[in-house]
Amino acid sequence: MRISLKQVSFAYPSTGIVILKDISLDLEPGTLTGVIGPPGSGKTTLLNLIPRLYEPSQGCITLKGVNIAHLSLTELRSYISYVPQEPFLFSGTVRENITFGNSLFPEKDIEQAIEKAALELSKEEFPLGLETQVGEKGIILSGGQKQRIALARAFIHDKPVLLCDDPVSQVDTQTGKKIMDSISTLAENKTCLVGSHRLAALRTAQSILILEQGRIIDQGSHEDLLTSSSYYASTYYLQQIEEKIDDF
Amino acid sequence: MTFDYQYFEEEHLSQGYDWKILSRLWPYVRPYLLVLIGSLFCVGIITFSELALPYMTKIAIDSYIIPQTKNEQSLKDIHQESSQKRYLSLTSDQTAKPAIEAIIKKHPDIFEQNKEHIRISYSLLDQLTEKELRLLRSKDISGINKIVLIFLVIIVVNFGTQFGQKLMMEYMGQNIIHDLRMHLFDHTQSLSLTFFNRQPLGRLVTRLTNDIQNMYEFFTNFLTFFIKDIFMFLGITIVLLSLNWQLALITFSVLPLMVLASKVFAQKSREIYRQLRVKLAEINSKFSETISGIRIIQLFQQEDNNYSRFSRLNQQNYLAGMHQIRILALFMPVVEALGFVSIGLVIYFGGSRVLGQTLSIGALVAFISYIRMFFRPVRDMAEKFNLMQNAMASAERIFQIMDTKPRNQLPSSHSLHPKQANKSSIRSLTFSQVYFSYDQNRSVLKDISFNLNQFEHIAIVGPTGSGKTSLIHLILGFYPPMSGKILINNQNLQSWDLNHLRARFALVMQDPFLFSGTIYQNILQGNPCLTEKQLSTVLKLSHCSTFVNRLPQGLNTKIGEGGVSLSTGQKQLIGIARAFARDPEVLILDEATSAIDSETEYHIQDALKDLMHHRTSITIAHRLTTAKMADRILVLHKGNLVERGSHKELMAEKGLYFKLTQMQNV
């Protein structure tokens, strides 16, 4: 499903603070598009506009050529799978959190989703495996574990559009690589938009946008950007160092 | 689609715990003891006045409406003549009155002369005219008037004391709850972050609202009514026994059944009350969870699913509620029925006694009134018992929080005897073999030892997740270390008053938390006693003046929700201003990583340099150029302190730091 943004701007109606300015963008089916930029540059807002969590102040977004403002929320969202920046878990078991309590998912699919999300249900931390209670009254999970449960949730709900907001922010480099590999594979037959502050994670993306203060300041593949964008190059090397140190 | 999210009742009420809880509630009651005593005194008056009313009725009937002759002799005579006949006897004072004498003379056929008494059968009274009757019974009428007057006075007194009692009880209840809530709030604020990591928000809010409300019910409803019920019960028992002990015992014969019914009721409804409380908590949790997870619910289109889950919870709550109503609906008629049985018994046995002249009609009427009042307290006590159970359960939970030791067992900031404020300045900060973990499983910091002297500047370097922020958390006492020691001036951190200690630190973060309010308020948050002159110095030093002056309302510009949005750089400058205002001994800097325009960057660097001058500082350095300037560098990696020394030393060591700098130069 092709998604197009045409001169989209967004400002918070209450304050008038402009978050996104004049964004034009095409997301092609079967491709992975990455969004990078410093915190507050508008990555999350951009992702939130597609399932209409927010409505653009100007411009329009189309899905397969249809203005999404004309689609019912139910229909629009039935095409979209989403991994939020702050993973949210409900009180319940790991399984319930992944499937939303839908018992129609075959066991095999659940296992696959967990594997793709690099979620390891070790006996020590998840004594009851998939049936371990999590959330408010369950065990305390680390941010990375929550993030992977949220990913498994998005993976099992197989939709033509996959949106991920910083999906590897709270896991280590190795796990992050596994997760990004899964997302890249999934993207082969989906329209996929992934925001991240970790540049290496998006290296496999066909196209990467650099957002700064709500504007797209540069766009291209990883190799293109390494030569064309000083911001990209410097940030990339800085993060490379951090990753190398991590393996130190 | 068959599953329910699991919720657990946290704990059960242990038997015999109630007294312990009550004794812990005592300190909250003590300040209002006089009010409580006054209120209880009023309860006594109310009980007495309510008990007096049926007795007044009895006096009215027996002394004035159908006066009884107490004369043994005449009673015998009456028996001989006819046990069915009752007579109105006239005293010699009455017959001496000429008007009454005239009436007697006018109707010689209906008045009987019996020795000294002149009497008239009640059944023949209707043969007299209304005027004659009035004259004949003028004494009784004035007696009834007197009784009515007393009745009225009692009602007024009852009204007045009820009003006063209610006011006093509410005054006490509201005040106790006010104190208890403040105490709980104060205590909650002082708890360590570890506690909050483990407590769901909803549960804490429930403590501060629902459970406190239950305590309120206890202090206002339970305490007085229960005591009143006991007063009533005892009072009526005594009155009934003194009126006619045989009849009283007959009345009491239904009591065992009543007690049994109450016991069954109390037990059944206690279970239901507990169930209801759990259901309510579940509904609250579900509701709050839905709100916090609304984005996910909407994005994954789980509204219908969630709706049906909520509806199931709500249905369970409804069923539990209905169950409770059914029990109540059964219990109430049982009590009523037993009451009626008892009245029936009294009418049967009492009636024959009235006919047999061993009981006055007034006494019988009073008896019946008292019986109606008698079963109310019995019924209420069964109900109130649940209220108490409920309140005790709530109190137990409230005290559970209160029993959680604040912070690392430091006294609450509002303790009456705060630890002596240590006036000497911070000369050294020492970590000695410190281990730390947020969840007891994964160690975030391992075997950290270092020393920091006054006016020294150290930089902490390391990749994300190496434990830099955790280290700062420990220094500020947000968490206690798992093992090892943190010393300030060679004195354990735990022996310092945390509030005094924290006041000497200032934390400048890359994304400082600004409250919604004006810029002025946000800077003053660092030091509320800042003078006008000091403020302008602070603004200048922190390089805030330039951008603040450009804002339409200057210092009074509103920021945060509904206000002007500031850039990250501007926020940082305000954070620095806040730190200047505080004039701290030790500065903790979380260096910025996000891209800020070079002009702002220049301002920030300049302001920070001024701020660090003549202060001890700890900088979390993301850029190695910043680290270079520090006296000493600590290199953290995966929670371990892997290298330490000056830039020169570390470069010579050719270890991790060396590699870092090399890579950064690529």
Pairing label, strands B558-559, B586-590: unpaired
Label residue A201 by pLDDT band (50, 70, 90): confident
Label residue B85 by pLDDT band (50, 70, 90): low
Is the Cβ of B6 closer than 8 Å to some Cβ of chain A? yes
Per-residue tokens: B40 = 């209880």
Give the gap in angstroms from C-alpha B197 to the nearest C-alpha of chain A. Answer: 8
| A76 within 8 A of A63, measured Cβ to Cβ | yes
Asked if the model's pLDDT at residue A26 lies above 70, the reply is: yes
What number of CA atoms fall less than 13 Å from residue B2's CA on the CB side? 0
Give per-residue burial for A78-108: e unless 16+ CB within 10 Å, then b.
ebbbbbbbbbbbbbbbbbbbbbbbeeeeeee
CA B182 to CA B178: how far, in whole Å? 6
For residue B367, what are the β-bridge partners?
A: none
Q: Closest-CA residue in chain B for A150? A: B296
pLDDT tens-digit profile of B535-592? 888 888 888 888 888 777 888 888 865 566 677 777 888 888 888 888 888 988 887 6
- The whole-angstrom distance between residue B98's C-alpha and the CA centroid of its chain comes to 73
Mean of the pLDDT values across residues A132-144? 70
For helices B245-252 and B361-403, what crossing angle results, to 10°? 50
Longest dimension (CA), chain A: 53
Residue B458 forms part of a structural domain: no
Q: Which residues, including other chains, have CB under 8 Å from residue B347's CB and lie 6 or more apart?
A: B364, B368
Give the gap in angstroms from C-alpha A242 to the nearest C-alpha of chain B. Answer: 5
CA B508 to CA B571: how far, in whole Å? 10
- CATH no. for residue B358? 1.20.1560.10
Question: Residue B601: what are its φ and ψ, rounded to 5°?
Answer: -55, -45
Mean of the pLDDT values across residues A171-185? 85
Contacts of the segment B592-600: beta carbons below 8 A, 24+ positions apart: B592/B510, B592/B568, B592/B622, B593/B510, B593/B622, B594/A38, B594/A39, B594/A40, B594/B510, B594/B511, B594/B568, B595/A38, B595/A212, B595/A231, B596/B567, B596/B568, B596/B569, B596/B572, B597/B569, B600/B567, B600/B569, B600/B570, B600/B572, B600/B573
Is the Cβ of B440 closer than 8 Å to some Cβ of chain A? no
Q: Which residues, including other chains, have CB under 8 Å from residue B75's CB and lie 6 or more apart?
A: B69, B357
pLDDT higher for B127 or B187?
A: B187
What pLDDT score was predicted for residue A136?
61
Mean of the pLDDT values across residues A156-166? 91
Pairing label, strands B505-508, B586-590: parallel
Subunit contact A15:B659, Cβ cutoff 8 A: no
Give the gap in angstroms from C-alpha A14 to the nearest C-alpha of chain B. Answer: 7
Mean of the pLDDT values across residues B189-218? 75
The correct CATH number of A1-79+161-248 out of 3.20.20.30, 3.90.15.10, 1.10.600.10, 3.40.50.300 is: 3.40.50.300
Q: What is the distance between the terminal CA atoms of chain A, rounded to a whole angstrom?
A: 42
The size of chain A, in residues, is 248
Give the domain range for residue B171: 165-402
pLDDT higher for B16 or A227?
A: A227
Q: Which of A96, A133, A238 sits opposite B3 (nearest CB)?
A: A96
ipTM for this model: 0.79
Question: Residue A77: what are its φ and ψ, rounded to 5°?
Answer: -75, -20
What pLDDT score was predicted for residue B197?
64
Mean of the pLDDT values across residues B441-453? 87
- HEC readout, B297-326: HHHCCCHHHHHHHHHHHHHHHHHHHHHHHH
Give the gap in angstroms from C-alpha A38 to the nearest C-alpha of chain B. Answer: 6
Residue B262 forms part of a structural domain: yes
Give the global pTM: 0.60
* Among A208, A106, A87, CA closest to A148: A87
What residue ranges of chain A are covered by domains with CATH 3.40.50.300?
Answer: 1-79+161-248, 87-158
pLDDT tens-digit profile of A60-105? 999 999 999 999 988 999 999 999 887 888 888 899 999 988 888 9
* Among B392, B470, B405, CA closest to B434: B470
CA B559 to CA B13: how far, in whole Å? 48
Ranges A47-61, A193-207, B251-265, B418-432: which has the least confidence: B418-432
Residues of chain B with C-beta less than 8 angstroms from the C-beta of A19: none
Subunit contact B442:A142, Cβ cutoff 8 A: yes
| B232 within 8 A of B53, measured Cβ to Cβ | no
Per-residue tokens: B497 = 């008053």
pLDDT higher for A209 or B554?
A: A209
Which fold, A87-158? Rossmann fold (3.40.50)
Subunit contact B5:A14, Cβ cutoff 8 A: no
CA A39 to CA A235: how far, in whole Å? 13
Distance (Å) of CA A216 to CA A98, A226, B24, B569:
34, 16, 64, 21
Residues of chain B with C-beta less than 8 angstroms from the C-beta of A240: 663
DSSP three-state, residue A61:
strand
Q: Which residues, including other chains, have CB under 8 Å from residue A212's CB and lie 6 or more apart?
A: A37, A38, A41, A231, B595
Helices (H), B244-301: 245-252, 255-292, 294-299
Residue B159 forms part of a structural domain: no
pLDDT higher for B212 or B419?
A: B212
Asked if the model's pLDDT at residue B50 lies above 60, the reply is: yes
Distance (Å) of CA B47 to CA B229, B333, B475, B617:
9, 25, 63, 72
DSSP three-state, residue B528:
coil
Residue B391 forms part of a structural domain: yes
Helices (H), B191-254: 193-198, 201-206, 212-217, 223-243, 245-252
